[in-house]
Structure 1
Amino acid sequence: MKIRLLVCVGIFSMLAFLSCKTESYKEILLCQTEKEQISFDPDSIKEFVTGQYVRSLEEAGKGMLVPRNSYKDGTIRSTPIEDWVSGFYAGTLWYIYELTGDTSWIAPARQWTEVLDPIKTYEGIHDIGFMMYCSYGNGYRLLKDERYLPVLKQTSETLCKRFNPKIGTLLSWGNLADTATQKYHNTIIDNMMNLELLMFSAKQFQEPYFSDIAVKHADNTIKCHFRPNYSTYHVVEFDKKTGKIVKQETHQGYDDNSDWARGQAWTIYGYSMMYRETGNKKYLEMSSRCADRFISRLPGDLIPYWDFDDPRIANTYRDASAGAIAACGLFGLSEQVEDTVQSLKYYNIAIGLVNRLSSADYLAKDNYYKCLILHSVGHWQKKTEIDCNINYADYYYMEALLKALDLYDKKNGNK
């Protein structure tokens, strides 16, 4: 009865949003003095999630190819394990196991995790934190399988080879063998998300070297990646020898000075994580200021446009993945900030994002899809993965869903 009552309260809020001509859902949430409730039935969502990934596993490629996209015609596009998104599929399977408690999900989660083993020494990409912490990291967190620890340590060592002490950041893009003679050193805002692996390894293996690099990277990103309004540049290019900034630009946003939504979401999540791991309040302040910027630019129904400065708004694409990533970061912030009004704001917007992503507008409920979330934008500049499913949207939706249900259960005495 309690679950039904609270779900009904959430549905009432959504109906108010849909019927009110003067107020948006965002405005309703920001004006509330109590915590927003989930507007979906948890049991129905669990059934949907498991059903979609049972079907996905039936069609998934074998060996060294990992599902990346699912399409309306029923096909799945797979990608090599060297692709930066290769860890998200396994991570989603681990999250489904966590959501359901059903041990039958462990075997496929292990399978799609352990196929990534060669990545631990791969020097061709900076995103091995995404690739291995989302897969091996979640596997270790849930099972405490000691066999996963050497893989995570080796991956951390490989990642640290990309650190340039002259600049104080990890190199983005390129195989280390190929970039050794290059004049410039690129760092992208996405790289904040790879630091969680280093912070984990520093504690787990008592190796301060890992956290020292993570802290230096986070600190120098603050110095170089942000505009006065707390929006972020996607890419900063440094002179490798002098450490000076050559240019600040975009690779995936609308233009060099635009506010790319997913980049802003990486920032909220990344600095909230760094505060959690270090207790350094400058990271909390950075995450909060970036979150405030992000929230201020959200449309009334919450799901962000792929770039907040695309001149075609409101006739351009949404990025559900950015919404899911931001929700994860906002849940963290809601428990970290001391101000109760600010905490409520972050919590309610996070719940609001999960509610919208859990609606018919974004769930892949067409019978042919074998995924969870639709309407993300991968690389607008290259015109690839526009308005489609991408596996990291599923991954961060699952993480946000777990956070929403965990906080919901705690609030209502179920835990």
Structure 2
Amino acid sequence: MKTVKMLLILLLFISCNNKTDKKEKPEVDKQLTAVEKQLSLLLEKAVEKNRIPRTTNKDNSIYWAPLKFDWTEGFFPGTCWYLYEATKDEKWKNGAEQFQKLIESHKTITNNHDLGFIFNCSFGNGYRLTKNEDFKQVLIVSGNSLITRFNEKVGCIQSWDVGPNHRWKFPVIIDNMMNLELLFELTKLTGDPKYKEIAIIHANTTMKNHFRDDYSSYHVIDYDLETGAVRNRNTAQGFSDKSSWARGQAWGLYGYTVCYRYTKDKRYLEQAQNIAKYIIDAMPEDGIPYWDYNAPNIPNEKRDVSAAAIATSALIELDGYTTESYLSFINKSIVSLGSEVYNAKLGENNGFALMHSVGSIPHKAEVDVPLNYADYYYVEALMRLIK
């Protein structure tokens, strides 16, 4: 009788553990299928309108990226390329190519640093999947435009242009780390080392000046044009100059993971690991950060799902480079992103997949809304897990 009782207890224990494992592990294929169905609805609207969706307006209508120029304009065509890769459905390829035509002329713009975001996510993914030489030429032109903003004295690519009376002289934001992937890739594609060299100098300068002792980062570092010295350490989108803006931390993590991918320099790996530790230690239980880790009214502050998606995608790549496993956190975050709390029901949220992202609370812009880059990095994270 004792043996039977012990066997029943053992079976119950195994059953409970199996249920726990099932709960903690994301159903990645199911989540990707769901997001593909949802974004198909957004694709139909975008194709008909011939515009790139960015977010939603207060009346729940779609806010379309401005045709003149918008830093987010590469994300939706990039998402289309990922979903073409996942499904082989031509509608995604056709959509990506249609939207890329709207932004191709921006490849010669030299007054903005976001060309890496825009063209690597869109034309970069397109070239990776199709080897279309025209896409490659667009990447080269956009990269050449981007490096005109590099200043040797400072050792960085300038982020924003500012007037002579502005408090900043040469502002560099942590987001700029995301533009380096295009430069690394161009050296690989062309054999010209100049792109990689600039990317490395920028990454090293940023590593020296942007990070605090705990590996959180400032948002904006302002440099002296003549000496290259740091003038100011500030924020534009975070709670305060000394706080840790959540999406900025994710940009840094992603950027240094990319730097390690292309250089295999262990300094970048260690930097990424240290940033990852800061993020994971500061993260709420469900793996979705508040918009700023030092926001004053936590837990009554807005979450930023975009920061979670970016950081999670970066951690999946980083996990492949280290003996330290990030899978426990990755699984938790992916499960949360796929939950009804953050993931819209089919047909709702105007066709965007994720809810509850934040653009800039200080500017009262895009607060608690869907954002096309949140969806982009969510789909990228799912694709990376599947691979």
TM-score, with length taken from structure 2: 0.90
| Residue aligned with 1:377, SS | strand
After superposition, where does 1:366-381 map in structure 2 within 5 Å? 367-369=347-349, 370-381=351-362
Q: CA deviation at 1:72?
A: 8.7
Q: Which among 292, 316, 322 is matched to residue 301 of structure 2?
A: 316
Deviates more, 1:183-192 or 1:62-71: 62-71
Question: Does residue 358 in structure 1 map to residue 357 in structure 2?
Answer: no
Match of residue 173 from structure 1: 160
**Residue identity opposite 1:294 in structure 2:** I
Closer, same or farther in 2 for the Cα pair 1:193/1:131, shift >3 Å?
Answer: same
Q: How does 1:160-199 map to 2 (within 5 A)?
A: 160-174=147-161, 184-199=169-184
Q: Which runs of 5+ in 2 are unaligned?
A: 1-15
Q: Does 1:390 align with 2:371?
A: yes
Gaps of 5+ in 1: 1-7, 16-35, 407-415
Contact 2:55 2:64 in 1 (8 A): yes
The aligned counterpart of 1:410 is: none
Residue of 278, 285, 288 corresponding to 1:293? 278
Question: What is the letter of the counterpart of residue 50 of structure 1?
Answer: E
Q: How does 1:4-403 map to 2 (within 5 A)?
A: 12-13=20-21, 37-38=25-26, 40=27, 42-43=29-30, 45-60=31-46, 65-70=51-56, 75-81=61-67, 82-174=69-161, 184-337=169-322, 339=323, 342=324, 344=325, 346-365=326-345, 367-369=347-349, 370-403=351-384
- Report deviation, 1:374: 0.5
| 8 A Cα contact 2:357 2:371, kept in partner | yes
Opposite residue 193 of structure 2, the aligned amino acid is P
Conserved? CA contact 2:246–2:290, under 8 Å: yes
TM-aligned CA deviation for residue 145 of structure 1: 1.1
Q: Which letter maps to 1:363?
A: N
Taking a change above 3 Å as real, the CA distance of residues 219 and 149 of structure 1, as seen in their structure-2 partners, is same
Q: What secondary structure, in the 3-state scheme, does the structure 2 residue paired with 1:309 have?
A: coil
Structure 2 vs 1, CA of residues 365 and 156 (structure 1 numbering), >3 Å: closer, same or farther? same
CA RMSD after TM alignment: 2.3
Whole-angstrom distance in 1 between the partners of 2:32 and 2:266:
36
Note if contact 1:128-1:194 (Cα within 8 Å) is conserved in structure 2: yes
Structure 1 counterpart of 2:5: none
C-alpha contact (below 8 Å) 1:60/1:76 kept by paired residues: no
CA distance in 1: counterparts of 2:143 and 2:246, whole angstroms: 28
**1:63–1:220: structure 2 CA closer, same or farther, 3 Å change rule?**
farther
2:380 pairs with 1:404: no
CA distance in structure 2 between the partners assigned to 1:262 and 1:10 by the alignment: 35
Q: Give the 3-state SS of the residue equivalent to 1:60 in structure 2.
A: helix
Q: Deviations over 1:347-399 (max 9, x none)?
A: 22122211110111111116332111011110111011111101100000000
Helix, strand or coil for the counterpart of 2:200? helix
The Cα shift of 1:129 comes to: 0.3
C-alpha contact (below 8 Å) 1:72/1:366 kept by paired residues: no
